[in-house]
């Protein structure tokens, strides 16, 4: 079975060579109960470790069933221990966090057995060593004698032909020692049992052979009685542990020591929070830098604004607007996009109070009034502004009692006050904007839409062979709608008479043309009346104003058919700016072109670029630092697990299998830690956690960010496992075991 020919074992330490044993010749066969004895330092334990494959040898040759082993590497010895050797140690070398059943089961699982097929076999083995009542008891709660019986049961379960025991009764009382020896004697009938002991009296009556050693040499090799070999031993078929059992053991190991699980769980949770917090902070800072800029076409550069139009440049229908409003992240829709960028000032005639901002449909007001009431009549509006606005906070009553006007300038720079407005309600902005917002009714919105239609269309008029451009600020030939003018007709200033040959413009035609990116059309109207100061009110049904001198009034329907044909471009404002890209994607799926204003801003982006570089560098440094910090902490925590992995190796588990179990253990804990982190994130998104800082940071992370962070944590768990395993397995099993012992 086993044969040693001139085998020697040496130790090297600090340049000093020491001999474990020297030039030993020995043959051992099945059925023998061999006892090796000698004083401390005689080499008996070293010889046993070489025989069991736990330690290597330096010279000579050891044969296993006639096969030479001098060429064996660590993997070969792992296979040898798995197929041939069952170990019993003085210090038991059990997994104390496992039950008796689980310790015996471990030996079988590592040999490729299926968990469901070995229950009866395990219980029979446990019964054989007299521990049936303790099958589900953790080994940490057993006495020394009971633990040694578990070690024997585990060795029996392996069904190997060789069982080696190093001082198996060294920590037991005489009664327990006697029971252990009796069990070993019984199993020696179909195996080779080799025991190292200094107490010959305990084993002499069971031994078939006695070997005495001194100073690394065999002094005496004596046969005490003939071995009783039953020849009933059947060799077990050995396979690798199944994938399912690897996963099961890895999961069991993750939870079997609660304190270890909690500590490693906290480490991985800290990693998740640190990476998420740092990355989110940079994302927020980078985002805030990116929204500072300008756009020469759009005055309103709100970061929640998306400009939309249709690829075929056709009008957006009411049904399409209804579909947009049905989306989940819509705050409001500015149907006439021109009004979003249309800013104007309003003031009282004494110029005591002045406000400047955008006009918004009153239907989009979602705030709460801090003073006044909602509009009820034409010309009534709500004004909003920052809470620290002096006018709004300190002069509330005076503002509500004052008459306001839109402040306009003609082409000469002369100021005029038009469109009487009454502020009836005051509210504060829900953002940090210092601009005012005017929430107005349909009457003012209609007027503004007509003005914006004029601004976004290039309008020209041809009269008496001359071309004239119409502008908002130059009243001359400015086309203006009026309900007082019949269809197909135009009312013009009496000054138009001077533009004709005979001094009479009545009956003359004006060709009005418009040209914009969405509209190109023309119409012809006939002058049927001229106005001046005395007849203006009669003709137009409104008060005369010198600023209107030169305006060409046409019918409302004619005006809309030519200039205001529909809504071609609108702005969509989202509720949650963090989901803006998702909303833009939904709009594109609905068939709209989209322009995210936030992404169209121009300016100096060097700061944003620098922040991006700093973010990348800091995150890399952070991840590296977290890896080494977490590895240092987890290594300390896992040091208590060294004995477990040493036990696996003594049972014949390869380095690969042992490492895989550690990989699975850390993977499970890391995944659970990240799951808790994600649960907290979900609570933020569902509004359960409303703490401002946490909710704000969570909003700057996308689904892709969370996936990447999880991958980072899993990769870190793998690298920690790899690094720890490399250190754990760099030494021989015996040296590792000595450190643990």
How many whole angstroms separate alpha carbon 480 and alpha carbon 454?
9
Report pLDDT for 591. 94
* Residues contacting 385, CB < 8 A, separation 6+: 355, 357, 391, 392, 428, 429, 434, 435, 436, 437
pLDDT over 70 at 288, yes or no: no
How many whole angstroms separate alpha carbon 247 and alpha carbon 661?
7
pLDDT in tens, 632-669: 998 888 887 778 888 888 888 888 888 999 999 999 99
Report pLDDT for 9. 92
Residue 237 DSSP code: P
pLDDT in tens, 569-596: 899 999 888 788 889 999 999 999 999 8
Q: Worst-scoring range by mean pLDDT, 236-250, 314-328, 606-620?
A: 606-620
pLDDT in tens, 212-246: 999 999 999 999 888 876 655 555 677 888 999 99
Residue 581 DSSP code: H
Q: What angle do CA 512, 517, 523 make, to 5 degrees?
A: 15
Q: 741 falls in which pLDDT band (50, 70, 90)?
A: very low
pLDDT over 80 at 299, yes or no: no
Sheet containing 569-574, strands listed edge to edge, beginning at the edge strand earlier in sequence: 330-334, 569-574, 305-309, 593-596
HEC string of 585-645? Answer: HHHHHCCCEEEEHHHHCECCCHHHHHHHHHHHHHHHHHHHHHHHHHHHHHHHHHHHHHHHH
Q: Worst-scoring range by mean pLDDT, 232-241, 393-402, 662-671, 728-737?
A: 728-737
pLDDT in tens, 673-717: 999 999 988 888 777 877 666 666 676 777 888 898 899 999 999
Most confident of 345-349, 433-437, 482-486, 518-522: 482-486
Residue 637 CB neighbours (<10 A): 17
Closest CA to 508 of 562, 461, 454, 556: 461
Contacts 24+ apart (CB under 8 A), 174-181: 174/202, 175/145, 176/143, 176/144, 176/145, 176/148, 177/145, 177/202, 178/202, 179/130, 179/145, 179/149, 180/145, 180/148, 180/149, 180/152, 181/206
Residue 461 CB neighbours (<10 A): 21
Which helix (H) or strand (E) is 16 found in, with range? strand 16-28
pLDDT over 70 at 446, yes or no: yes
pLDDT in tens, 41-93: 899 989 999 999 888 899 999 999 899 999 998 888 888 888 899 988 888 88
pLDDT over 80 at 459, yes or no: yes
Q: Domain 294-335+568-600, what fold? A: Alpha-Beta Plaits (3.30.70)
**Average pLDDT for residues 31-50, to the nearest whole number?**
91
* Residue extents of the structural domains in the chain: 2-239, 252-286+606-740, 294-335+568-600, 344-435, 457-562
Residue 417 CB neighbours (<10 A): 16
Report pLDDT for 652. 80
- How much of the chain exceeds pLDDT 70, in percent? 90
Report pLDDT for 500. 93
Q: Worst-scoring range by mean pLDDT, 373-377, 614-618, 677-681?
A: 614-618
pLDDT over 60 at 734, yes or no: no
Cβ atoms of residues 100 and 126 within 8 Å: yes
Q: What is the DSSP string of 317-344?
A: PHHHHHHHHTSTTEEEEESSHHHHS-EE
pLDDT in tens, 158-183: 888 999 998 888 777 888 888 888 88
Mean pLDDT, the chain, as a whole number? 85
Q: 354 falls in which pLDDT band (50, 70, 90)?
A: confident
pLDDT in tens, 122-158: 999 999 888 999 999 999 999 988 998 899 899 888 8
User: Does the model's pTM come out above 0.75?
Assistant: no
Report pLDDT for 688. 81
Report pLDDT for 522. 93
Domain boundaries 2-239, corresponding CATH code: 3.40.50.300
596 or 452: whose pLDDT is higher? 596
Alpha-carbon torsion angle 120, 125, 131, 134, nearest 10: -40
Contacts 24+ apart (CB under 8 A), 36-41: 36/194, 36/195, 36/196, 36/197, 36/211, 36/212, 36/213, 37/196, 37/197, 37/198, 37/200, 37/210, 37/211, 37/212, 37/213, 38/198, 38/212, 38/213, 38/214, 38/219, 39/198, 39/214, 40/198
Closest CA to 463 of 525, 531, 547, 539: 525
Cβ atoms of residues 591 and 312 within 8 Å: no
Alpha-carbon torsion angle 468, 471, 475, 476, nearest 10: -10
């Amino acid at each position: 079975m086993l044969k040693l020919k001139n085998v020697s074992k040496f130790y090297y330490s600090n340049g000093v060579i020491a001999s474990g044993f020297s030039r030993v010749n020995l043959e051992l066969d099945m059925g023998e109960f061999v006892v090796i004895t000698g004083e401390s330092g005689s080499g008996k334990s070293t010889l046993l470790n070489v025989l069991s494959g736990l330690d290597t040898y330096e010279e000579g040759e050891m044969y296993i069933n006639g096969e030479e082993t001098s060429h064996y590497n660590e993997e070969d010895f792992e296979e040898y221990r798995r197929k041939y050797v069952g170990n019993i140690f003085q210090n038991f070398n059990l997994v104390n966090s496992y039950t008796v059943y689980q310790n015996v089961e471990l030996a079988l699982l590592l040999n490729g057995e299926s968990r469901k097929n070995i229950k009866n076999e395990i219980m029979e083995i446990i019964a054989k060593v007299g521990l049936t009542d303790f099958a589900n008891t953790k080994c940490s709660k057993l006495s020394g004698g009971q633990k040694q019986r578990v070690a024997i049961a585990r060795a029996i379960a392996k069904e190997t032909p060789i069982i080696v025991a190093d001082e198996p009764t060294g920590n037991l009382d005489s009664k327990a020692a006697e029971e252990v020896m009796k069990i070993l004697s019984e199993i020696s009938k179909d195996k080779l049992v080799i025991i190292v002991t200094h107490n010959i009296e305990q084993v002499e009556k069971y031994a078939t052979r006695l070997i005495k050693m001194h100073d690394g040499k065999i002094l005496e090799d004596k046969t005490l009685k003939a071995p009783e070999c039953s020849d009933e031993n059947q060799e077990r078929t050995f396979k690798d542990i199944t994938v399912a059992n690897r996963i099961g053991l890895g999961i069991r190991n993750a939870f079997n020591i609660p304190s270890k699980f909690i500590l490693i769980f906290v480490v991985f949770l800290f990693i998740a929070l640190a990476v998420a917090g740092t990355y989110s902070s940079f994302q927020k800072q980078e985002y805030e830098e990116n929204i500072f800029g300008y756009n020469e076409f759009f005055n309103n550069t709100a970061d929640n604004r998306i400009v939309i139009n249709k690829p075929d440049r056709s009008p957006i229908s009411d049904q399409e607007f209804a579909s947009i409003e049905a989306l989940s992240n819509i705050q409001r829709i500015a149907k006439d996009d021109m009004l979003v960028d249309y800013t104007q000032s309003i003031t009282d005639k004494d110029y005591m109070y002045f406000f400047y901002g955008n006009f918004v449909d009153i239907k989009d007001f979602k705030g709460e009034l801090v003073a006044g009431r909602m509009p009820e009549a034409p010309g009534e509006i709500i004004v909003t502004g920052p809470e620290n606005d002096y006018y709004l906070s300190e002069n509330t009553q005076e503002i509500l009692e004052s008459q306001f006007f839109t402040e306009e300038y003609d082409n000469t720079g002369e100021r005029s006050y038009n469109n009487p407005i009454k502020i009836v309600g005051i509210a504060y902005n829900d953002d940090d904007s210092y601009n005012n917002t005017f929430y107005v009714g349909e009457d003012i919105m209609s007027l503004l839409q007509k003005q914006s239609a004029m601004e976004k269309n290039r309008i020209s008029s041809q009269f008496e062979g001359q071309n004239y451009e119409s502008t908002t600020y130059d009243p001359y030939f400015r086309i203006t709608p009026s309900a007082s003018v019949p269809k197909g007709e135009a009312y013009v200033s009496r000054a138009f008479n001077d533009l004709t040959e005979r001094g009479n413009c009545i009956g003359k035609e004006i060709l009005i043309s418009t040209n914009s990116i969405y509209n190109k059309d023309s119409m012809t109207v006939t002058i049927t009346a001229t106005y001046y100061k005395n007849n203006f009110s009669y003709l137009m049904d409104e008060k005369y104003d010198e600023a209107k001198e030169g305006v060409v009034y046409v019918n409302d329907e004619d005006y809309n058919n030519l200039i205001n044909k529909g809504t071609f471009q609108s702005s969509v404002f989202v509720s949650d700016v963090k989901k803006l890209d998702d909303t833009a994607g939904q709009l594109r799926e609905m068939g709209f072109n989209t322009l995210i204003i936030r992404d169209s801003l121009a300016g100096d982006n060097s700061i944003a670029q620098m922040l991006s570089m700093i973010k990348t560098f800091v995150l890399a440094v952070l991840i590296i630092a977290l890896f080494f910090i977490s590895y240092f902490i987890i290594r300390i925590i896992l040091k208590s697990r060294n004995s477990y992995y040493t036990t696996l190796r003594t049972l014949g588990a390869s380095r690969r299998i042992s490492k895989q179990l550690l990989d699975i253990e850390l993977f499970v804990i890391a995944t659970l830690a990240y799951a808790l982190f994600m649960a907290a994130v979900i609570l933020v998104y569902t509004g359960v956690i409303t703490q401002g800082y946490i909710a704000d940071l969570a909003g700057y992370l996308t689904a892709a960010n969370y996936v990447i962070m999880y991958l980072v944590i899993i990769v870190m768990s793998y690298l920690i496992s790899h690094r720890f395993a490399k250190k754990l397995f760099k030494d021989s099993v015996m040296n590792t075991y000595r450190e643990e012992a």
